[in-house]
Amino acid sequence: MNALRNRVQLIGHLGNNPELKTFDGGKTMAKFSIATSETYKKESGEKVTETQWHNIVAWNGTAKIVEKLLKKGCEAVIEGKLTSRTWDDKDGKKHYITEVVANEILLLKSKE
């Protein structure tokens, strides 16, 4: 049951090309965002589509897969865990972000 405690699975389209960064010591990170959409009808019959944007981070081997397979607009399945972090910028202002740390990636449809 522990494997189910913090598990996220999203299917969506990439909003940008993954941004790759390599750190001292050889660690590699890929960052990108995906959009998931949900469509429903209001009582009036009007069709409404709501889109949510999700920040995704992938590390090392998964980051290298992201670099090879994923491009802006393609559809993918992302599985991972939800994380939140804070940091202070150079002006001392605190920032908050929630991200999905991906451990599995599956390309569904390429943009091309």
> In the chain, what are the helix, strand and coil shares in percent, each to the nearest 5?
10, 60, 30
* Chain segment 44-92, per-residue pLDDT in tens: 999 999 999 999 999 999 999 999 999 999 999 999 999 999 999 999 9
Task: State mean pLDDT over 23-36.
Answer: 95
Domain extent at residue 9? 2-39+47-109
CATH of the domain at 9: 2.40.50.140
Q: How far apart are CA 57 and CA 66, in angstroms?
A: 10
CB 28 within 8 A of CB 63: yes
Whether the per-residue pLDDT at 12 is higher than 90: the answer is: yes
pLDDT at 111 over 80: no
Distance CA 60, CA 38 (A): 32
pTM (two decimals): 0.85
Look at the chain and report how many structural domains it folds into.
1
Phi/psi of residue 92, nearest 5 degrees: 85, 5
